[in-house]
Structure 1
């Protein structure tokens, strides 16, 4: 009886193992997205990782894409929407595990200088990011230095996003350095793009706090104003920032985060998909399925 029972156990184990191999192989033939699903189906739960983010289009894009990839690698992924300051603080204290939106060296230099000893800079995930003051292409203004000559047409205001954002701090510096007779109006990424759309629909002048990558630059004809004083800095990198100990606690998740690098074109594609969708997560999932070669590079870690 015991011998017969052992045979059944060995047979069941072999059947499950064979099924896993066949399913993974079939999924691999269908594409990376399916292969990841097969791997996830047979992988044990690797634990929960919490990604913090700010409601900026670029950050939502990278966070949702990484959520899809980590879930398909066997992790449970939670996300926490925070202000920029709280996002940095949450990783430094270990309340969240990582974020993908560290704009360095200029935009978030204050946060990084204060907290760098309590967190880990995993590395840049995107090169060539840029911040500045953005106006419609049809505007007669081409330089920040000339903004005061057109204050009336801009109604004396610059439309911004959330108060804690680095681009807001740099815009306040810009107003001071250029002695601009303008008020900086805070809001959110959504209210900023809504105001931009309304102005463009009515062929009006508007100045907004802008950055690239951003889907608005693909949607409308816009331009960055020249910044002769360099108050917005030069091109930047977007960094992945993790809590101390994450590499030891979740080495595979850390390796995926470390390998995560993509282009402005990749991010713009995701942002446009998300902007036209009611579900940013599903848009990210579609992008992951459509870009198996890029995703496989991240998973090599």
Structure 2
């Protein structure tokens, strides 16, 4: 009888890509994997209730530490899959001489060109929390800027449409993410340090389930660290090439083991 593992991931495409890579490792060792997704805070609550055995992934310490803290004592950190960080970015056709930092958004000449709505994703995301603070701390609202939560697809398609029309806009984003695989997005300097710095995307699991892992399986999990560029590529395959997370992971594995 196959051992069963319940993997939970945050309900965003690049988290699904990471989870698919983890899933392939377990399937290699004969495990049956049940995969589910939920928004950020909800997924951590489900993990804390024992509804999932493993969570892909916790961005620590800045973005998700507040969600993981209540369950820290029963958690094993298995590996760092990649090193995410949040940005406020602009398309590369926006001249760096005009806009190089968040503070430049308040320049009179920039105010004439830059769109005032800064569209993000769901409210529980770290970048959403950080962005709301940015609006306040840089006093951007006084000049008409505002942050708005939106769907993942709306955030990305709004950026792509703006690029196609060469419009100036700010996108609250992060690495890794599929837009970086296709576009050059310049991160704005952010002197107040409100975007959380670089996190570690950590594969976490309950202590009880890790005690059932075979030594070879555990070693392979601990060695799994695809990095930002790979996750951005997988995310691109999912979001713009219509691959399932499993198909994207399989494509990566084929290339990886051929090299």
Q: Normalised by the size of structure 1, how large is the TM-score?
A: 0.76
Equivalent pair of 1:55/1:189 in contact (CA under 8 Å): no
Q: What's the counterpart of residue 167 of structure 2?
A: 204
CA deviations over 1:133-163 (Å, ceiling 9, x no partner): 1111122422111223344533321110111
Equivalent pair of 2:6/2:33 in contact (CA under 8 Å): yes
C-alpha deviation, 1:228, in angstroms: 0.8
Q: What's the counterpart of residue 112 of structure 1?
A: 68
Secondary structure at the counterpart of residue 82 of structure 2: strand
Tell me if 1:135 matches 2:90. yes
C-alpha deviation, 1:56, in angstroms: 2.5
Q: What's the counterpart of residue 20 of structure 2?
A: 64
C-alpha deviation, 1:197, in angstroms: 0.5
Equivalent pair of 2:14/2:235 in contact (CA under 8 Å): yes
C-alpha deviation, 1:280, in angstroms: 2.6
CA deviations over 1:241-287 (Å, ceiling 9, x no partner): 11231112344555543332222232233223223124232121122
Q: How far apart in 1 are the matches of 2:63 and 2:160?
A: 25
Equivalent pair of 2:79/2:225 in contact (CA under 8 Å): no
Q: What's the counterpart of residue 203 of structure 2?
A: 240
Secondary structure at the counterpart of residue 62 of structure 1: helix
Q: What's the counterpart of residue 272 of structure 1?
A: 236
Equivalent pair of 2:61/2:200 in contact (CA under 8 Å): yes
Q: How far apart in 1 are the matches of 2:33 and 2:249?
A: 14
Equivalent pair of 2:118/2:171 in contact (CA under 8 Å): yes
Q: What's the counterpart of residue 145 of structure 1?
A: 103
C-alpha deviation, 1:227, in angstroms: 0.4
Tell me if 1:291 matches 2:249. no
RMSD: 2.1
> Gaps spanning 5+ residues in structure 2: where?
none
Q: How far apart in 1 are the matches of 2:136 and 2:159?
A: 24
1:81 maps to which of 11, 18, 37: 37
Q: What's the counterpart of residue 124 of structure 1?
A: 80
Which structure has the higher relative contact order (CA within 8 Å, separation 6+)?
A: 2
Q: How far apart in 2 are the matches of 1:173 and 1:141?
A: 20
Q: Normalised by the size of structure 2, how large is the TM-score?
A: 0.87
Higher helix share: 1
Which protein is bigger by CA-based radius of gyration? 1
Q: How far apart in 2 are the matches of 1:118 and 1:92?
A: 9
